[in-house]
Copies of this chain bind each other. A is one copy, B any other.
Amino acid sequence: MSERKQKILAFIVDYYIATGEPAGSKLISAAFGGAVSSATIRNDMSELSELGFLEQPHTSAGRIPSQKGYRYYVDHLMGRYEISVSEQFRISNMLKNENGEPERLLSRAGEILADLTGCASLSTTPLDRQSIIKRVEMVPIGSKTVMIVVLASSGVIKSRVCRIDSEVTIEILELFYNVASAHFVSQRAHDINTANIQTIVASLGEMALVMTPLIVTLSELTTAITQADLLLEGQSNLLNYREFENNAYELMDFLSRGEPLSKLLVAHRDELSVLIGRENFFKEMENSSLILSSYQIGGQDAGSVGIIGPTRIDYSRLIPSIKFISRIVSGILSQSLDD
């Protein structure tokens, strides 16, 4: 593709991102200082249309980028920016104290990202197929109530309160810890077979009845550890975009379902993924773009953070913010893993 055509495509994308208006040949010619006449631009635009990079809302409007046009722009044309040092400083300051649970950190990072970009932010909790159950704790909360805490080597912590039918005795505590260390601790979370729960419980003899809720809860927690949760922030930001005026419900409802999206995020744990429109695979997102950047824990890809917005999103300005946030998140999560 000729250099001029590239410049034209770049201009149209930039202009449409900035204003939301189609760009016409005369406007572009003027933007180039009149060095090329509008007729020439028209010829080029016509070819760009034929190649599928541009489309026309209607005959007498200018051109706007097609999804293929955005793709070419992202891959070859867009400017590279960095976020300012003071901004970097501000962001890392806001996050550096959230070094407890990954979930809190990610949710805070998501808020910042949503504010920064004016889009909705999303992230997945860390997920590592190799992660093992590092620790199981049972904390008495009441005479018949305990809290079960499970810690994975990925740093993820899950806890849940569980009520049983009788008083929590030393015997129950001991039995629980025995079961936990025999069948759960040091196992890969993915390998723990939920079907085995029955046999484990059965082996407890007369204590089986009392222990069942505890073992079931423990098993549910280990399952929860093998699944990435989706965290969403700033969804309402999306309502400010014209493009979502008519299908806001579809999109928001899809977002709130969580699971399909979290699968999508888990499948794209690269340093940078830009998914434009129909590249997202889900019909509900065919008018949206996703920008994702993975974070690492101890050098291992563990999850992603990113944003969702209309396809007409300011890729070049927002990509650096997302990359930066994922770097910060990587740093904080890796550091808390030093225990």
Contact = CB atoms under 8 A, between A and B. Distances in A.
Contacts of A160: 100-101, 104
The 6 A-B residue pairs with the shortest CB-CB distance in the complex, in nearest-first order:
A142-B339, A100-B161, A236-B252, A239-B249, A236-B253, A143-B339
Contacts of A236: 249, 252-253, 255-256
Interface string A321-339: 0000000000000001011
A336 B143 CA distance: 11
A141 to B, nearest CB: 5
Query: This chain: how many copies in the complex?
Result: 2
Contacts of A151: 141-142
A149 B41 CA distance: 67
A290 interface: no
A137 B135 contact: no
Given A100-B160, A101-B160, A161-B101, A339 B145 contact: yes
A140 B147 CA distance: 14
Contacts of A256: 234-236
Interface in A171-198: none
Interface of A: 99-101, 104, 135, 137, 139-145, 147, 149, 151, 157, 159-163, 234-236, 239-240, 248-249, 252-253, 255-256, 336, 338-339
A233 to B, nearest CB: 9
Contacts of A140: 137
Contacts of A162: 100
A236 B120 CA distance: 14
A75 to B, nearest CB: 33
Nearest to A101: B161
A99 to B, nearest CB: 6
A235 B249 contact: no
A149 B157 contact: no
A226 B89 CA distance: 33
Given A147-B159, A236-B255, 8 more contacts: A104-B160, A141-B149, A145-B336, A147-B149, A147-B157, A236-B252, A236-B256, A239-B249
